[in-house]
Structure 1
Amino acid sequence: MQTGIDRSSPLPFYHQLKQLLLGDIEQRGLGPGDRLPGDHELCATYDVSRTVVRQALAELETEGVIERIKGRGTFVAHPKTAEGLVQSLTGLYEDVAARGGHLRSEVRSLEVTPADAQVADDLDVPVGHPVITIERLRFVDEEPWVLTITHVPEELAPGLVDEDLSHQSLYALLESKYGVRLVHGRRSVEATVAGASLARSLGVSRGAPVLVLRSTSEGQDGRPVESFVAFHRGDRSRFEVELSRHTGGAPRPLMIVTG
């Protein structure tokens, strides 16, 4: 096992240092939150410049291996939950379970409310139409991960307000008990920062990065049956998208939404 920089190797010093640090993390059995040596210590230990150290650490941070906290130091990063929610019509419950994790929901509200203009537009119902509103703070392996606000037209799931949604999939319940099958959907992701209230809920600092996932799902007849907005911790979540290239036909332009 390499223990230092090989100065005769054609590999760049920063790449060698990156591999050395990965090996050190594995050999020492370091886990999320464990502290790593600082820049100056790494320079002295491996006899390299600070530029080399910074480049190696920058790549490890980009890859999600470490996290650098200003004023505190460098730490082994917490793994992010990879979610296919953008490309497939699954819920967080299914995504986490498929990866062997545990999801628990703290149901903050579950009630019938009149649809406001935005919800009415999403669900294609009149303003004021009764919808079931579900607000859940969701924990992955007992760590707050995402705050989700979901709306379902009341007539599609009578009795849903009496269900316990702490440990079960809403999508599975809608399909198995109420016969509401979700077959198509539209989802978008945007970046924002956490305000004071959201920061408290997610256990992050005010101004921390947040990924906002917005979704509308349709049933077999093409009518909307569910919509939600979910505020994901930016330091714990990433979205995976599989791409394929199709030849022929008119290209679909990149959509950029502002405002």
Structure 2
Amino acid sequence: MTNNIFLTLYKDYVERIDAGILQSGSKLPSENELAVTYQTSRETVRKGLNLLAQNGYINKVKGKGSFVLDTGRLKFPVSGLVSYKELSERLGKKSRTLVYVTECVPAGDKIAKELHIRANQPVWKVIRAREIEGERIILDIDYLLAEIVTNLTKEITADSIYQYLEQELHLKISYAEKVICVERATEMDHQYMDLRDDTHVVVVRGYVHLEDTTLFQYTESRHRLDKFQFVDFARRISMVETS
């Protein structure tokens, strides 16, 4: 039981931060105070605080203490290949998908260039807004090869395209290349997102491949600046390990 006290501390503070009891910028009690509260050692307390820091709940400032971070930003995985439905279930926030366009059209010059196909080749064009807690903060624009993705409907795009591809069409989605940048908001962004006075959005362009390396999807995921942070996990490989 003693070994799990750091998890109890972690869960206690996650609940308080998520519930808004501890606001962004609030200072946590010192390690000594927490050790007394949880009747444990400072080393155990430190493990709990480190876990909070690793998961983006607090920032530990040497010599000053631990402070609550702004958790109003939703964590969007950069390197993962995750559907929005899967992501929203992880976030545990009230959300819905608003489908504006689901149609099969000629690719056109711009999309043909992105997908390395002919301009007259048919693609599915899908435009969806992601509403989280009453605000449309993501605009997803997807283009999928019609020869691979068949019979796409508005009902499917409102639920999960990837679930349909994997479970109904039995396609094996393998990997994606992503490019992230900040761009000036377009008329479409203002039309389909609740941008308020924002003039820029974060754009994640994705090139998604099947297991046989076929590039079948080009996507632009456009995000409101104040609501999203993009997270990744990086591990340094020691030169000793590679020698």
TM tier, smaller: 0.5 to 0.7
1:110-129 superposed matches below 5 A: 110-129=102-121
Q: Does structure 1 retain, via aligned residues, the 8 Å contact 2:156–2:164? A: no
**Per-residue deviation, 1:201:** 2.4
Q: 1:182 deviation in Å?
A: 1.0
- Counterpart position of 1:81: 74
Separation (CA, whole Å) in 2 of partners of 1:163 and 1:157: 15
Read off the aligned partner of 1:226 and give its amino acid letter. Q
Task: Verify: 1:213 aligned to 2:214, yes or no.
Answer: no
Q: What CA distance in whole angstroms lies between the structure 2 residues aligned with 1:79 and 1:154? A: 38
What residue number does 1:130 align with?
122
Give the letter aligned to residue 202 of structure 1.
M
The separation in 2 between residues aligned to 1:180 and 1:142, in whole angstroms, is: 33
Equivalence for 2:93? 101
User: In structure 2, how many angstroms separate the alpha carbons of the residues matched to 1:173 and 1:135?
Assistant: 17
* 8 A contact 1:133–1:152 mirrored in 2: yes
The normalised TM-score by structure 2 is 0.66
After the TM superposition, which residues 1-259 of structure 1 pair with which residues of structure 2 at under 5 Å, given as runs?
Answer: 29=21, 65=70, 79-84=72-77, 86-161=78-153, 163-166=155-158, 168-247=159-238
The total of aligned residue pairs comes to 181
DSSP-derived class of the 1:178 partner: coil
Moved over 6 A (4+): none
In structure 2, the gaps of 5 or more residues are 1-16, 25-67
Quick one: structure 1 residues 213 and 160, their matched pair in 2 at CA, closer, same or farther if it must change by over 3 Å? same
Q: Secondary structure of the equivalent of 1:95? A: helix
Alpha-carbon distance in structure 1 between the residues aligned to 2:85 and 2:229? 15
Q: Which runs of 5+ in 1 are unaligned?
A: 1-24, 33-62, 66-77, 249-259
Distance 1:238 1:88, change over 3 A: same
Aligned partner of 1:72 in structure 2 is none
Return the offset for 1:226. Answer: 1.2
- Displacement of 1:93: 2.1
- RMSD, matched Cα: 2.8
Which residue of structure 1 lines up, in the alignment, with residue 35 of structure 2?
none
Percent identity of equivalent pairs: 21
Higher mean C-alpha displacement, 118-127 vs 130-139: 118-127
- What amino acid is aligned across from residue 217 of structure 1 in structure 2? V
Tell me how far apart the structure 2 counterparts of residues 244 and 157 of structure 1 sit (CA, whole Å): 36
* Distance of 2:102 and 2:226 partners within structure 1: 28
| TM-score, normalised by the number of residues in structure 1 | 0.62
Amino acid at match of 1:83: F
Rounded to whole Å, the distance in 2 between the matches of 1:115 and 1:157 is: 14
> Are the equivalent residues in 1 in contact too, given 2:177–2:208 (CA < 8 A)?
yes
